[in-house]
Structure 1
Amino acid sequence: MPTLVMKFGGTSVATLDRIRRAAKRVGVEVSKGYDVIVIVSAMAGKTNELVGWVQETSPLFDAREYDAVVSSGENVTAGLMALVLQEMGVPARSWQGWQVPLKTTSAHSSARIEEIGTENINGKFAEGMKVAVVAGFQGISPEGRITTLGRGGSDTTAVAFAAAFDAERCDIYTDVDGVYTTDPRISSKARKLDRIAFEEMLELASLGAKVLQTRSVELAMRYGVKLRVLSSFEEQTDTSGTLVCAEEEIVESNVVSGVAYSRDEAKMTLISVADRPGIAAAIFGPLSEAGINVDMIVQNISEEGRTDMTFSCPTDQVARAEAAVKKAKDAGIINFHALDADTNVAKISVVGIGMRSHTGVAAQMFKALSAEGINIKVITTSEIKISVLIDRKYMELAVQALHDAFELEKAA
């Protein structure tokens, strides 16, 4: 039988009624002839509750026990989903990560998937099981301990299972009905996309669009897993949601597919740095070691052997970044006159595979922002993306202006 992977997020299984609704969707796919692997998250709010209990019990907790506690939320959902399916007359059973087995690295709370065994589940499918309900977000380390995969781990689990079992498709059920040209809460003209390329989705996910987790999109692109993003709360048809697929499967698309934003950005500038070979490595090495997620980097023209180096990072990492560069200065690794941190900026990006073959996108973007009196602080580009840093107070205006400028409310 063909295999289908269906993933249900926390809001989709937040109550028993919602689990029953999700189970009915699974039953529909079983009736079409699929063997179904269902990946479930913990019920909404449960993971945060479990994390809180761990932190209250032991501020300096053992990461192995943290994973043992936090992974239990998915186990509960998996068992309940299997029970509901059985009550519906659908042969189903629940699976925890170690039972599959889903083998991971030993990095507790942020493990990476190394291998998914298919023999156990395929054996049960051969015996007549129609649905394997797998607890997402968890696996087993080489030492035989439960591990968790970190933020977005259930999405990553679902895509990994789709790749391992050569599934026809991986359906991600969430609280939105697809991927939009921008955040509908900011622009009323935002349009749901029928299809979007892996590369575009990866850029949008990394830029702040919270529909899919970046690791899951990377995995889907690497193994060619078709992803479909659907709403758990609406009736579905064959054309519902947004299909994330290879660029070749998209017949026509707009030059720009979407406008993304990230509100919590900071711009940091090292003023008057000695301009010499290796200075960039001397600056960004300590930042990397401190776990700072550096994004945009701009170096000014050198004057009299000195230059300014500007980079962006999340606002919650500013204090760590300041400490890292100060430590590097005290150690004589780098020399600069001052460090300026601007925590009132936002990053706005336009993304589209059509940018590879069309000119003038940057000019159109800058013209639209200029018309609204929005000053650009930093610019970076890639083959299918242009990002700018602007004052945060203009963020929503910039998103609306760019959405209008590229006429994203219109299909290609």
Structure 2
Amino acid sequence: MKELRGITWTHERGFAPLKRLAELALLDGPLRVDAPPIVWEAQDLAGFESRSIAELAREYDLIVLDHPGLGRAWSAGALEPLQELSGLTPADLEGRFVTGSLASYHYRGAQWAIPIDAATQVSAWADCQPAATWAEVISRQDDRMALPTKSPHAMLTFLGIAAAVSPGFEMSAHELVPARTGENAMEIFGNMVRSMPSASLDMDPINILEKISDGQLDACPLLYGYVTYARPSSRKRIITFANAPGTHSGAPGCILGGTGLALSRHSANKEGALAHLRQISSETAQQEVFGAAGGQPADATVWGESSLDRESNGFYSATLRSQSGSMVRPRYDGWIDFHHDASTFLLTSARDNRRPPEVVARLNKLHREAIQSSSSPVL
């Protein structure tokens, strides 16, 4: 039997659970898969955030992906829709996953992936109390605090702050953020960036969490949460995670992350690949294997008072409000390129102290241009 191939990302959270499930697929038991074995390969975080799903679909049977790439994948006809497959429709899966995760992979009338990992922007602290609002964050800003601004995270950080400034604001084809919302968010983002040491301005969430864990930093008010750093380990410090900061309303502002598992339309053995997809997204795998193997499950039962939560320093229950209230990013074809370019633009503008109205007007103009040139302009 020819082996199946899957592609994920290199961090323990992305690779270890899938490797373990591939092993269990060969053994007698509830997670056995009657299909050819699957071999998982991994790409780094930068590749995961930017490499074309269409390109991956020509090489792999199963693809771990991020929801903003769906528009480009739709334009290329790269993925197999899952909504007609028994046991994998939204109706079958309703309520199984933490709020927002399943819906983020539903695009243009079809379900393109099943969530296997849930994440959003939260805050991370070591040896200090979490800040509940951005005003408190700014009052405590020093060189031991950082924000992720390595592309595309400057853009994602800006949007997370905007979601705190105006909870529930709507992104549209005409404007990514309303003018006043964006201007207020840019004031906060700019103040934070200009207060950070230059050495801290080229880091992603993993870089920052490593530095907090090693004692080089103490806090990050907004980054994607990684349960890995909340668990007891050989690291110097266990990180405490909390909800993302809000503003006067108190609602945390955050942009949805996480990953879903999709089936390549080019797979030569779709039935075999589907058998593995069902195993990986099953309740047994999500509840009993993912967390134990180092992952961050999307299963709703984990995101509360669970044994996994207790073993993880309360990571899941402490950040559930952020996870459940997260905004879904646009998914149009062209978003990936746009949000990398916009990230560079926002960081440069913040460092140069450009006027927020000018920055937001330019950002919205770039967004409109990306939409207008898109072959799949649906957000």
* TM-score bin, normalised by smaller chain: under 0.3
TM-score, structure 1 length as denominator?
0.24
Q: Which has the higher helix share?
A: 2
TM-score, structure 2 length as denominator?
0.26
